């Protein structure tokens, strides 16, 4: 039994590393994907292409426009003369936001009259639109307040009265765990969870389908070994590779994206083992249904898409409808990402992530047992 198991494990590893494409898929691709996805999945909004419609053309209007694009948020892409032209630029995707300063902007401010600045925002990318609108609004409010104060002080000085600047109620935010609000720190653990999903589900399901397609499974099944040996032999090598990948993702995240490692790594290891148990089980279940590698790939894809979307990787689970939130409890990707984020960023302890570990353990054991039963029935 041990010789047979060893034979299959060695054979799998030999085939995997002999085929350079498979080896690259399992070891190099996760690292490259971590880097590419890590940089790509970034919700920070800056350098928003901006147009200015300055209908006033006065020193005050120019100062307002220069101040707006002086920071990182807005990037000046052009001055146009009319609102219609600005809308045309938005239509063509040249700019995302246009700021219209009305004629009489300086005079009206000088007279202390209510003055409006118009924003034209492309709502196609709602996230970027909201952030850009908020930034422009905040800037306008700040300028308006400064002008009002200056004016009040000037008027008081003219009357020979000293006026104290009024007290301001301000928000003092202290961001914990990720003080610079670096979104990589939030996303890299998610990328890790999804990459492991690809490696384990696709490779396991396709590996078994390939044996069926090639007829080698039949040759194996006329040897005197139990189906359990086949199952372990076909999954252990990929569990090992997936575990190495998990290490590479954590190390790559720390080195490339400065994702901190604040908690205990053994918790990540334990979560990784339970997670891999689940995903390998899913790979095995797929291979009991699929008759070809192509079918395996399609079925694996149908599982992976919702698993990633419902994992909280991209969108917060709290924003999903209640019934869908319940469904996510059965998603191993959700639990792994939660453990990775909690342990890496918040130095979570065993008791902090115990619910996730219990969920992963429950899912892992259930799915793997189901898969083993299905495989044994089929192989017998």
Partner 1 sequence: MTSDANPQLQEKGGPVIEAQGLVRRFGKLVAVSDLSLHVAAGEIYGLIGPDGAGKTTTIRMLTGLMALDGGVARVSGEDASNVGVREQLGYMPQQYALYGDLSVDENLTFFGRLFGLNRAERERRKDRLLEITRLAPFRKRRADQLSGGMYKKLALACALLHQPVALVLDEPSNGVDPVSRRELWELIYEFVSDGMAVLLSTPDMDEAARCHRVGLLHHGKLLAEGAPDALTRRFHHETLMVRTANRDALEDLLVGREEVLALSPEGAELRLVLRRGSTQALLAWAETQVGALHWEPSKPAFEDVFLGLLADPQSCSEPAATELSGGAQ
Q: 360: Cβ–Cβ under 8 A, 6 or more apart, which residues?
A: 271, 274, 275, 278, 332, 335, 336, 339
Closest approach of Cβ 217 to partner 1, in Å? 8
- Report the 10 Å Cβ neighbour count for 158: 8
CA distances from 181 to 41, 45, 176, 312, 342 (A): 14, 12, 9, 18, 16
Site string for partner 1, 216-235 (x = CB under 8 A): x-xxxxxxxxx---------
Q: Name the one range near partner 1 by CB under 8 A: 3-11, 35-43, 168-176, 244-252.
A: 3-11
DSSP state of 318: G
Of 8 and 280, which CB lies nearer to partner 1 in the complex structure? 8
Closest approach of Cβ 236 to partner 1, in Å? 15
Of 198 and 220, which CB lies nearer to partner 1 in the complex structure? 220
Of 91 and 218, which CB lies nearer to partner 1 in the complex structure? 218
Q: Name the one range near partner 1 by CB under 8 A: 15-23, 54-62, 88-96, 245-253.
A: 15-23
Of 14 and 47, which CB lies nearer to partner 1 in the complex structure? 14
Site for partner 1 in 253-312 (CB under 8 A): none
- Cβ(156)–Cβ(76) below 8 Å: no
Tell whether residue 377 is a contact of partner 1 (CB under 8 A). Answer: no
Considering CB under 8 A, how many residues would be counted as binding partner 1?
23
Tokens 């894809």 belong to residue: 301
Choosing from 11, 62, 151, 329, the residue that interacts with partner 1 (CB under 8 A) is 11
- Cβ(311)–Cβ(333) below 8 Å: yes
- Which residue spans within 81-122 are E strands per DSSP? 97-101, 118-121
Tell whether residue 21 is a contact of partner 1 (CB under 8 A). Answer: no
Tell whether residue 214 is a contact of partner 1 (CB under 8 A). Answer: yes
Q: 34: Cβ–Cβ under 8 A, 6 or more apart, which residues?
A: 188, 191, 192, 195, 248, 249, 252, 253, 256
Choosing from 59, 160, 166, 215, the residue that interacts with partner 1 (CB under 8 A) is 215
User: Would you give the distance in Å from CA 53 to the centre of its chain?
Assistant: 36
CA distances from 137 to 130, 151, 292, 359 (A): 10, 21, 57, 44
Q: Name the one range near partner 1 by CB under 8 A: 11-19, 201-209, 279-287, 304-312.
A: 11-19
Residues that bind partner 1 (CB under 8 A): 1, 3-4, 6-8, 11, 14-15, 18-19, 214-216, 218-226
């Amino acid at each position: 039994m041990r010789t047979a198991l060893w034979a299959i494990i060695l054979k799998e590893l030999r085939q995997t590393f002999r085929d350079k494409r498979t080896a690259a898929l399992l070891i190099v691709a996760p690292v490259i994907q971590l880097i590419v996805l890590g940089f790509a999945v970034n919700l920070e909004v800056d350098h928003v292409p901006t147009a200015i419609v300055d209908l006033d053309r006065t020193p005050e209007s120019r100062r307002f426009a220069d101040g707006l694009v002086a920071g990182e948020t807005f990037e000046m892409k052009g001055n146009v003369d009319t609102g219609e032209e600005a809308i045309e630029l938005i239509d063509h995707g040249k700019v995302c936001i246009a700021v219209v300063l009305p004629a009489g902007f300086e005079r009206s401010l000088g007279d202390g009259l209510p003055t409006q600045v118009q924003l034209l925002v492309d709502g196609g990318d709602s996230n970027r639109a909201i952030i850009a609108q908020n930034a422009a609004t905040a800037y306008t409010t700040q300028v308006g307040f400064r002008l009002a104060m200056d004016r009040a002080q000037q008027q008081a000085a003219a009357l020979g009265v000293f006026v104290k600047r009024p007290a301001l109620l301000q928000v003092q935010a202290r961001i914990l765990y990720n003080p610079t609000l670096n979104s990589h720190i939030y996303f890299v653990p998610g990328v890790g969870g999804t990459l492991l999903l690809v490696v384990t589900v696709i490779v396991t399901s396709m590996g078994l389908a390939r044996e069926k397609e090639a007829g080698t499974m039949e040759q194996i099944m006329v040897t005197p070994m139990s189906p359990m040996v086949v199952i372990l032999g076909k999954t252990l090598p990929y569990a090992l590779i997936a575990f190495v990948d998990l290490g590479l993702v954590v190390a790559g995240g720390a080195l490339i994206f400065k994702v901190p490692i604040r908690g205990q790594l053994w918790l990540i290891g334990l979560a990784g083992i339970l997670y891999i148990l689940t995903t390998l089980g899913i790979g095995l279940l797929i291979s009991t249904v699929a008759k070809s590698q192509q079918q395996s790939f399609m079925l694996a894809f149908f599982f992976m898409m919702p698993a990633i979307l419902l994992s909280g990787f991209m969108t917060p689970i709290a924003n999903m409808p209640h019934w869908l939130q319940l469904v996510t409890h059965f998603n191993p990707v959700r639990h792994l990402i939660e453990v990775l984020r909690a342990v890496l960023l918040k130095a979570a302890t065993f008791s902090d992530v115990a619910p996730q570990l219990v969920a992963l353990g429950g899912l892992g054991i259930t799915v793997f047992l189901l898969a083993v039963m299905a495989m044994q029935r089929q192989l017998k």
